[in-house]
Structure 1
């Protein structure tokens, strides 16, 4: 049982631990390499096998898995379920079907499925503000309102070591990926409001870190505290250096560094690094971290 009024359901891409007694349920995303399922904590194994040329696939949790997560959160008035965009994953569809099944059986708690416009650590930051508000005793309306504003405000920046893996997903044309890799050019990207664009080009790891530092200095509102969430894919040392650079140029209220979950890492490939930033509101409770 939990004393919170609003429970939270996310998938493993949010990099939050399941705490049913704390009002938080996590639905597992599935990764398959070579016919075998890979545990979501086995990110190192994923990158070793990707480097060997093994092909990886991901599959969406079923409506039944989301329904089971909703049913585990007892004693709350409402449940907020966050997903990444429907165009990238079937999680929103599965969660929506499960919410309908749940409502057919009971009136309380209510279930709101929110399709966020972002993914990876930006999605993780939206999940954390929702979780922090829930833990502080906020009601459904307050949590949903802050989730919507966080979706509008959160920005993510990063760079991949190669476009090979994301090209396999069809999200980047193979020809573009091949030319980029042949020229040893690494686009530094921004994800905001459902769109993705290039903000810089770099050729080396050091160049990537300099570009990300410059982006933080120029694009994050000066003097306003931000929650930062850094990510890496088998590149922990680069994430440490990036954190030092960001702390030097940003007003940071809280920061956290995570290794990308395998379900994301199979698309980024090894070597990805970057961060997401969310401006802090005066009414925000302290950040929830792992």
Structure 2
């Protein structure tokens, strides 16, 4: 039976020793009975609000509009939205997972909301954790935390395992274009224009809160090969929990998934669409994977 029940159109979580809160950008899946309290992310696409709450049914329509040249803008959830999520958690302890604080105001918003809840209740239930990762990486950490929560683990046990996972999880991706990254201000428009004219597909990594370039490729097959090589070089031969993600590129993601299965030892895997809050910055056509080393059902270490 699900640990989340529908109440007044919103999810209210039944009591567990430790509840988990994450934002809608964590590469969740439509059919994932994750038992998480999800803070929605809001995106304006040509002035119309799109709410990314982790349910993937509307993602395809978002990417269709993005491919047609519609403009987007994103914003950080307000502290009140985190506070609402915290209030929905009927647990003695809550762990809230965010992307790196240097990228977004989400960590600060969640921290303020945690203080607001403590003021209301006269006790502190919430620990806010900067995971140092995002998108598929955050999705893996959130899934691990949800599994531990569902198993009835204490907040100390959840925090210990999640902190270790944050130091282990690796994310790799390949962009179809630099156009959308340039719009976000993360690379100069001139560099993006030159790269696009040369049909370059950058391959990047995210590890420990830092990003870096892995390779520059010219084709989708080249990008998939570069991602496979990264898996061979950096995943150390341990059994892996893999989360393959894509921004409206399901066929390419399937090719990548099959390649990873032959390149590394896979203990657990799934493929999910990249959330629009991330896709608005990376652009449609992005593919990639996040990996977490496992021993049985526990983290390596």
- The alignment's TM-score, normalised by the length of structure 2, stands at 0.89
**What residue in structure 2 maps to residue 48 of structure 1?**
64
Using the TM superposition, give the Cα deviation of residue 186 of structure 1 relative to its aligned residue in structure 2, in angstroms.
1.4
Counterparts in 2 of 1:48 and 1:17: CA distance versus 1, 3 Å: closer
Counterparts in 2 of 1:60 and 1:278: CA distance versus 1, 3 Å: same
Indicate whether 1:154 and 2:169 are aligned: yes
Matches within 5 A, 1:180-195: 180-195=195-210
Check whether the contact 2:28–2:272 (CA below 8 A) recurs between aligned residues: no
Indicate whether 1:276 and 2:295 are aligned: no
Q: Distance in 1 between matches of 2:140 and 2:189?
A: 31
CA displacement 1:143-173 (0-9 Å, x = unmatched): 1111111111110111000000011111112
Check whether the contact 1:18–1:25 (CA below 8 A) recurs between aligned residues: no
CA displacement 1:202-251 (0-9 Å, x = unmatched): 100111111111111121111x1111000000100000111111111211
Find the residue that maps to 2:291 and give its secondary structure.
strand
Find the residue that maps to 2:43 and give its secondary structure.
strand
Find the residue that maps to 1:280 and give its secondary structure.
strand
Matches within 5 A, 1:206-221: 206-221=221-236
User: What 5-or-longer segments of structure 1 have no aligned partner?
Assistant: 286-290
Indicate whether 1:103 and 2:123 are aligned: no
Indicate whether 1:245 and 2:259 are aligned: yes
Find the residue that maps to 1:14 and give its secondary structure.
coil
Check whether the contact 1:159–1:186 (CA below 8 A) recurs between aligned residues: yes
**What residue in structure 2 maps to residue 288 of structure 1?**
none
- The alignment's TM-score, normalised by the length of structure 1, stands at 0.92
User: What 5-or-longer segments of structure 2 have no aligned partner?
Assistant: 1-12
Using the TM superposition, give the Cα deviation of residue 174 of structure 1 relative to its aligned residue in structure 2, in angstroms.
1.4
Q: Distance in 2 between matches of 1:107 and 1:78?
A: 14
Find the residue that maps to 2:152 and give its secondary structure.
coil
Using the TM superposition, give the Cα deviation of residue 23 of structure 1 relative to its aligned residue in structure 2, in angstroms.
4.8
Indicate whether 1:230 and 2:241 are aligned: no
Counterparts in 2 of 1:204 and 1:157: CA distance versus 1, 3 Å: same
Using the TM superposition, give the Cα deviation of residue 283 of structure 1 relative to its aligned residue in structure 2, in angstroms.
6.0
Find the residue that maps to 2:94 and give its secondary structure.
strand
Using the TM superposition, give the Cα deviation of residue 281 of structure 1 relative to its aligned residue in structure 2, in angstroms.
4.2
**What residue in structure 2 maps to residue 266 of structure 1?**
280
RMSD over aligned Cα, in angstroms?
Answer: 2.0
Q: Distance in 2 between matches of 1:22 and 1:204?
A: 36
Indicate whether 1:66 and 2:82 are aligned: yes
Check whether the contact 2:40–2:51 (CA below 8 A) recurs between aligned residues: no
Using the TM superposition, give the Cα deviation of residue 49 of structure 1 relative to its aligned residue in structure 2, in angstroms.
2.0
User: Aligned residue pairs: how many?
Assistant: 282
Counterparts in 2 of 1:228 and 1:206: CA distance versus 1, 3 Å: same
Check whether the contact 2:117–2:124 (CA below 8 A) recurs between aligned residues: no
Using the TM superposition, give the Cα deviation of residue 2 of structure 1 relative to its aligned residue in structure 2, in angstroms.
2.8
Q: Distance in 1 between matches of 2:141 and 2:214?
A: 23
Counterparts in 2 of 1:24 and 1:18: CA distance versus 1, 3 Å: farther
CA displacement 1:37-77 (0-9 Å, x = unmatched): 12434222222222222210112111111111111111x12
